Amino acid sequence: MKSSAELQEIRNKLRMEIGYSLPIQENDIRIVVGMGTCGIAAGAREVVRTFMDEVEKRGLEHVKVTQSGCIGKCDAEPIVEVTLPGKETVTYVHVDPAKAREIVASHIVGGKAIKNYMK
């Protein structure tokens, strides 16, 4: 039998998942990974998976990771755009899994963009 406390546990556990079954909200932080053929060839899929992993591990409910097509700067792929609510979009280039984890720690969680990884 599930007690009401256990039901609450289910709610907490699924809160993250639910976020991904709803449209993006205004106060969400957005991470957009360029996933054109060029981006994928440069390793963008692994970057997406890394972001998802970080988001889940850290329980970052209001962070949404999505993809976009090629933006025409193929030599800079994988390109990642990070938008905090009400702030200007920051574009990172040549992102790899290690940089992705740093971006989450510093920019998403800490609020400090990493200048070195920008173009």
Partner 1 sequence: MLERAHIMICGGTGCTSGNSKKVMEEFEVQLKKNGLRDEVKLIMTGCFGLCARGPIVAVYPDGAFYQHVKVEDVAEIVTEHILKGRRVTRLLGSERTESGEVMPINQTPFYRSQKRIVLRNCGRINPENIDEYIAFDGYKAYEKCVKEMTPEGVIQLLTDSGLRGRGGGGFPTGKKWLSTYNAKDDQKYVVCNADEGDPGAFMDRSVLEGDPHSVIEAMMIAGYAVGATQGYVYVRAEYPIAVQRLQIAIDQARAYGILGKNAMGLGHKFDMEIRLGAGAFVCGEATALIHSIEGHRGEPTQKPPHLAEHGLWGKPTVLNNVETYANIPQIILNGPQWFKSMGTEKSSGTKVFALGGKIMNTGLVEIPMGTTLRTIIEEIGGGIPNGKKFKAAQTGGPSGGCIPASLIDTPIDYDNLIAIGSMMGSGGLIVMDEDNCMVDIAKFFLEFTVDESCGKCTPCRIGNKRLYEMLDKITKGQGTMEDLDKMEELCKYIKANSLCGLGQTAPNPVLSTLKYFRDEYIAHVRDKKCPAGVCKALLNYVIDKDKCIGCGLCARKCPAGAITKSDYIAEGHKLPSMQIDVTKCLKCGACMDTCNRQCAISKK
Our finding on whether 79 is near partner 1 (CB under 8 A) is no
Q: What are phi and psi of 98, to 5 degrees?
A: -65, -45
Are residues 34 and 80 in contact, defined by beta-carbon separation less than 8 angstroms? yes
The CA-CA-CA angle for residues 115, 85, 26, to 5°, reads 150
Exposed (0-12), middle (13-18) or buried (19+): which is 55, by Cβ within 10 Å? buried
- Binding test (CB under 8 A) with partner 1, winner from 48, 79, 80, 108: 48
Stretch that binds partner 1, among 60-68, 90-98, 99-107, 109-117 (CB under 8 A): 60-68
The owner of tokens 């060029």 is 38
Residue 14 in contact with partner 1, rule: CB under 8 A: yes
CB 13, min distance to partner 1, A: 8
> Which positions lie near partner 1, rule CB under 8 A?
1-4, 7, 10-11, 14-24, 28, 32-37, 39-40, 48-49, 52-53, 55-56, 64-69
